[in-house]
């Protein structure tokens, strides 16, 4: 063997086995389940929580024969994963036990704001390495947040099941603000969650009506039948539906939501 080739081989052998360190990954958190299911090759996923068997939460197929854990250390110990992801609060007892037994457990911070989402995506990147979908999502969010907030605002109101609306202090409010919408609930003094009647919705006359909730709990067709003004919003395209993932794993969809809301504002402003 040529001397230079021999040296190169020795260098490669001395490098840490980056890919092997993440050959089998497990999760003890619903959101992190979805990150793995959406962004990691199925053969690398050792286990996700039992909650991801519920179609309401699952946004990607479950790999065949995957182990669904219930947050117990003994379950994951038998699987011998190379990496275990845990959230900031849930399954802490199991996480401590697994760490004490020498397993590689990484805690990923929860995120309740756009700034925290960037930190969360960064922590995921540190744990999972150069994962292309994750890196793309992080870059897209960074790019969106670096743009100035549009000065010419349109108005918007979020309407969820049981006439719940979303005010200041929430991620949903931040999304509206960054996309160039004035959140009418926040302007009325709603902090976090509040209630708004359909009559109030109609009186406020938002430029955009934002729906939030699953079809089982919040059927848009039912809303349209309740009042002709709401039907007009729907028929004219002055509505937007926030994805269900925003409620339990916003990291997956936040960049898309920001872009789509921004596009909606442009359409509304240009139509005026």
Residues belonging to the chain: 272
Q: What are phi and psi of 94, to 5 degrees?
A: -65, -40
- Please tell me the predicted confidence (pLDDT) of residue 3: 45
Same domain, 116 and 205: no
> What pTM did the predictor assign?
0.82
Evaluate if residue 147 carries a pLDDT over 80.
yes
Task: Decide if 11 is inside a domain.
Answer: no
User: Which domain-ending residue is among 142, 161, 189?
Assistant: 142
- Please tell me the predicted confidence (pLDDT) of residue 57: 82
Cα distance between residue 73 and residue 95, in whole Å: 7
* CATH number of the domain where residue 40 is located: 3.40.50.1980
Same domain, 137 and 163: no
- Please tell me the predicted confidence (pLDDT) of residue 61: 85
Evaluate if residue 20 carries a pLDDT over 90.
no
Evaluate if residue 228 carries a pLDDT over 80.
no
Same domain, 49 and 125: yes
Task: Decide if 74 is inside a domain.
Answer: yes
- Please tell me the predicted confidence (pLDDT) of residue 18: 38
Residues spanned by the domain of 96 = 16-142
- Please tell me the predicted confidence (pLDDT) of residue 167: 94
User: Count of domains in the chain?
Assistant: 2
- Please tell me the predicted confidence (pLDDT) of residue 8: 38
CA distances from 8 to 41, 146, 154, 251 (A): 30, 42, 60, 40
Mean pLDDT of all residues belonging to the chain: 85
Same domain, 129 and 174: no
pLDDT, tens digit, 9 for 90 and up, residues 47-90: 999 999 988 888 788 888 899 999 999 999 999 999 999 998 87
Evaluate if residue 223 carries a pLDDT over 70.
no
User: Which domain-ending residue is among 121, 142, 163?
Assistant: 142
Q: How far is CA 223 from the centre of its chain?
A: 26
Contacts of 84 (CB under 8 A, 6+ apart): 25, 26, 27, 28, 76, 95, 98, 103, 104, 105, 106
User: Which domain-ending residue is among 84, 117, 142?
Assistant: 142
Q: What are phi and psi of 56, to 5 degrees?
A: -65, -35
Task: Decide if 249 is inside a domain.
Answer: yes
Cα distance between residue 144 and residue 259, in whole Å: 8
Evaluate if residue 237 carries a pLDDT over 70.
yes
pLDDT, tens digit, 9 for 90 and up, residues 187-206: 999 999 999 888 888 889 99
- Please tell me the predicted confidence (pLDDT) of residue 262: 94
């Amino acid at each position: 063997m040529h001397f230079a080739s021999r040296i190169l081989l020795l260098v490669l052998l001395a490098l840490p086995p980056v890919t092997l360190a993440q050959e089998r990954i497990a999760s003890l958190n619903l959101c992190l389940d979805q990150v793995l299911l959406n962004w990691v090759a199925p053969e690398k996923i050792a286990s996700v929580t039992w909650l991801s068997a519920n179609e309401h939460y699952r946004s990607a197929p479950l790999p065949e024969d995957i182990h669904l854990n219930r947050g117990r250390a003994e379950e994951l110990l038998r699987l011998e994963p190379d990496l275990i992801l845990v959230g900031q609060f849930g399954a802490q007892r199991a996480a401590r036990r697994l760490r004490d037994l020498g397993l590689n457990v990484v805690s990923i911070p929860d995120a309740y704001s756009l700034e925290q989402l960037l930190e969360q995506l960064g922590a995921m990147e540190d744990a999972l390495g150069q994962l292309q979908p994750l890196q793309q999502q992080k870059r897209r969010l960074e790019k969106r947040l670096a743009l100035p907030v549009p000065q010419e605002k349109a108005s918007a109101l979020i309407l969820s099941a049981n006439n719940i609306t979303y005010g200041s202090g929430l991620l949903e409010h931040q999304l509206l603000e960054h996309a160039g919408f004035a959140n009418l609930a926040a302007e009325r003094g709603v902090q976090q969650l509040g209630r708004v009647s359909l009559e109030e919705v109609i009186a406020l006359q938002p430029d955009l009506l934002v729906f939030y909730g699953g079809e089982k709990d919040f059927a848009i067709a039912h809303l349209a039948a309740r009042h002709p003004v709401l039907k007009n919003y729907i028929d004219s395209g002055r509505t937007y539906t926030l994805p269900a993932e925003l409620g339990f794993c916003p990291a997956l969809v936040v960049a898309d939501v920001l872009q789509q809301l921004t596009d909606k504002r442009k359409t509304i402003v240009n139509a005026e």
